[in-house]
Amino acid sequence: MTDHNYFARVTHATLRDALSPHTQVYMLCYVKRRVEYRPVDPRSSQQRAREADMEEQRRREKEREQRDKLEIERQLLELA
């Protein structure tokens, strides 16, 4: 009768030990300690790019309006 537990043996090891050339392994399994989940964005990359471009245009428009406003205020102060 064979011992079936021999094939189901699990040995914990560091990555360095597992990948060393002196290790004889049949199968390796890596378990990540910290899983970092990111929210899934259902939008396509084209939609995200288009929205990023639109946001950039809005930002530039605000900067231009701010510059124009400061220029008008400067001109009004020169007149006074």
How many distinct structural domains can be found in the chain? 1
Give the type of residue at 71.
E
Buried b (16+ CB within 10 A) or exposed e, 56-72: eeeeeeeeeeeeeeeee
> Has residue 52 been placed in a domain?
yes
Domain range for 52: 43-80
> Has residue 27 been placed in a domain?
no
> Has residue 29 been placed in a domain?
no
Which pLDDT score is estimated for 22? 76
> Has residue 62 been placed in a domain?
yes
What predicted TM-score, i.e. pTM, was given to this entire model?
0.46
> Has residue 70 been placed in a domain?
yes
d(CA 67, CA 80): 20
Residue pLDDT, tens place only, 14-43: 878 877 877 777 677 777 777 777 788 888
> Has residue 5 been placed in a domain?
no
> Has residue 80 been placed in a domain?
yes
DSSP helix/strand/coil, 62: helix
> Has residue 65 been placed in a domain?
yes
> pLDDT confidence of 2, banded at 50, 70, 90?
low
User: Who's near 43: CB < 8 A, 6+ residues apart?
Assistant: 51
